[in-house]
Amino acid sequence: MPRLDRSIGRTLHLFNSADRETVIGGLIVTNGITNSLLYSMVEIIVVVTSEFSLRSEDDTAIPKDAAQVLPGNYFIHAIEPFALNNETPLLRTISHGIGTRTKAFCNEVRQRDRRCVITGQEALGAYRDEWGGYEASHLFPIAYEAYWSENNFGRWISIIPERGGSINSVQNGLLLRSDIHQLMDNYTFAINPDDGHKIVFFSEDSYNLAGTSLDRRILDDPQRPVDQLFRWHFRQAILVNMKGAGEPVFEHDFPPGSDQIGDILKGPKPAERMQYEMFTRFALDFDSL
């Protein structure tokens, strides 16, 4: 089963000005990606120890301003040599919480949001506990709870659930429409908390959401997700989509009768993906044993 190459369709390409032939990254330009934001993105995908500028093909310096970025070739000009960031983003496919550890998480996210916080579409059946088409999603995936603990991500959480650990706090969750959940898990879009919680799309936006801002109601809610987790997810999305050729896009659905395990093992990063899939699809809820 083919995997989508994220570099296909890019309308902006990044080069090292010292090597104007080798593409080191890029993106599909969508609404809301400004010159200033592009500078911030470049600072994530490369390690620059000196000041740098972005320049066009005719060597014109690109200002670090709020103007919409234009498609084209951009050259990173720095005094000191620089390299691509070797940080490896966490592999992620569509995930669904299972078991009693995430039941409270789902309930709390539903009751707080009662709508898709990205599109604003209300869950009209919420009053009778009907949530079809809506999913409580983790900003930081529960499959990487060990990573969460090792790096003390829980230090950002102030609302600790009675069970399930800090990773299952309502502050790590968003209620999303099912299709929007898939896009978030795939890093097709992310929320930039340092630019008015702007929704940034890294692929074509058929929803007309790119460049808009997160629902104000959730930002004013005292149980809102913490900005540190929005920032983590946004950084991951930049690394996944913009560095080099980007990370592969994995299938989240398998047709009936397909060899799911065989397809995963024949694809890219088989060990990492198998570990992730085993957790998200088949993991036991040890707290209930």
Overall domain count for the chain = 2
CA 32, CA 166: separation in Å to the nearest integer?
33
| Helix ranges (DSSP H) in the chain | 35-45, 100-113, 145-150, 178-185, 216-219, 227-242, 260-266, 270-282
pLDDT digits (tens, 9 = 90+) for 136-186: 999 999 989 999 999 999 999 999 999 899 999 999 999 999 999 999 999
Does some domain include residue 124? yes
To the nearest whole percent, how much of the chain has pLDDT over 70? 82
Q: Are residues 28 and 112 in the same domain?
A: no
The number of beta carbons lying within 10 Å of the beta carbon of residue 123 is: 19
pLDDT per residue as tens digits for the range 95-143: 555 555 689 999 999 999 999 999 999 999 999 999 999 999 999 999 8
Residue matched to tokens 């800090």? 166
Alpha-carbon distance of 20 to 9, in angstroms, equals 20
Q: Examine the domain organization and report whether 125 and 43 are in the same domain.
A: no
| pTM, to two decimals | 0.86
Residue 247 in any domain: the answer is: no
Domain extent, residue 225, equals 100-238
Q: Phi first, then psi: what are they for 75, rounded to 5°?
A: -120, 130
Say if residue 221 is in the same domain as residue 112.
yes
| Per-residue pLDDT at 240 | 96
CA of 179: how far to CAs of 118, 183, 207, in Å? 11, 7, 11
Residue 116 lies in a domain: yes
DSSP codes joined into one string, 127-160: GGT--TTEEEEESS-GGGHHHHHHTTGGGG--S-
CATH of the domain at 48: 3.10.20
Among the listed residues 276, 230, 229, the one whose alpha carbon sits nearest the alpha carbon of residue 250? 276
CA angle 173, 214, 138 (to 5 degrees): 15
* DSSP state letter for 70: P
Could you tell me if 66 and 104 lie in one domain? no
For 172-199, give one letter per residue: b (16+ CB within 10 A) or e.
bbbbbbeebbbbbbbbbbbbbbebebbb
Q: Of 193, 214, 238, which residue is a domain's last?
A: 238
More confident residue, 180 or 215: 180
